Copies of this chain bind each other. A is one copy, B any other.
């Protein structure tokens, strides 16, 4: 199938999809290296939902693919060109996302991860949710590890790895034939190099028409023939209007540790947010979460008025560590907080490995990561969301470490 520019499908299904489960799921390939397909623009519409693909133009975003899923309640922007990151989620007066000084959705061909002393990743950082990983995540710096030939070698790692700047090789839209006719955008991103990792990410961002929640369901597989370290951080970022002076973050906390001496100074106020503050220096807190009997945990970000909130829930077996990143800088510099479930903390991999927080995949092994994200409106709904987190905490005391870890 050739590359089709300006190819638009408009299926006017006025009353939604046929409910009969004998029908197969509808599948639409938008990008495929295997089939040599890349659609520049495309749209599929149901009665109260749509999925639209367009190509961005101008500046650093020339040629970037953007898929918007609209389920009638949420509009979810997925960026296949940037590793299937979720740029923004909008719902009426709510949004998951933030105002980064990086305004374009930057094409990876214009990103140099080695730039600025390994901080080049920040030149494209503006998503609501970007994955850090997969070979490595966390702070730049020199890692030291076995070279596979019996010796040790060093490598200068760049901030937060490569996966967020790798274009998806396969992208398809799937509409479940069975009720509730879940809408799925599925992508495959390969982080595979010769003499390097052979990791495959299959990600599915999905939503049910009419609901105010959605799911990110990822599988990471080691396609190589040798054991492979990996790291993944779900770097979910929230700005105004949800974030604001007096907004609060709620997590079920077994232990709370400041990432550095600067964060240690403000640890007592870790759960509340300042207004935009020029010159604010980031504060990072490391959380071991408490879980329910199914090993599930979550976090809620609540606005100051306690009438809007976003929640994230996940399995602590999948993602045992949570980082809370407070960056309540001036609006112009990026007023944002990160709620980041992960396989570890954002130290350099050298630190993480020494601490036992760098998992491995044996050849052919897969691991799954599922995040459920909800938007909550109205004081009662927000209160319920927060209380669910509080019920995980129960009367467990928080083990507050007042000093950063000795590295």
Contact = CB atoms under 8 A, between A and B. Distances in A.
Interface stretch (A43-51, A106-114, A212-220, A309-317): A106-114
Interface string A14-55: 000000000000000001111111101100000000000011
Contact of A58 (B32, B110, B154, B334): B32
Given A112-B113, A196-B123, A332-B223, A58 B170 contact: yes
B117 A60 contact: no
Given A193-B123, A226-B333, A114 B112 contact: yes
Interface of A: 2-3, 5-6, 31-38, 40-41, 54-63, 100-104, 107-110, 112-117, 119, 122-123, 125-126, 148-150, 154-156, 166-170, 190, 192-196, 198, 223-226, 262, 276, 278-279, 281, 329-334, 363
Nearest to A33: B58
B109 A110 contact: yes
A144 to B, nearest CB: 12
Given A6-B2, A36-B56, A167-B62, A194 B125 contact: yes
Contact of A122 (B31, B54, B194): B194
Contacts of A334: 194
Given A31-B57, A33-B59, A58-B170, A224 B194 contact: no
Contact of A196 (B56, B122, B148, B276): B122
Nearest to A332: B225
Nearest to A278: B225
Contact of A38 (B38, B58, B115, B155): B58
A119 B59 CA distance: 24
10 contacts: A38-B62, A59-B166, A101-B198, A119-B195, A125-B194, A149-B262, A223-B332, A225-B331, A225-B333, A226-B279
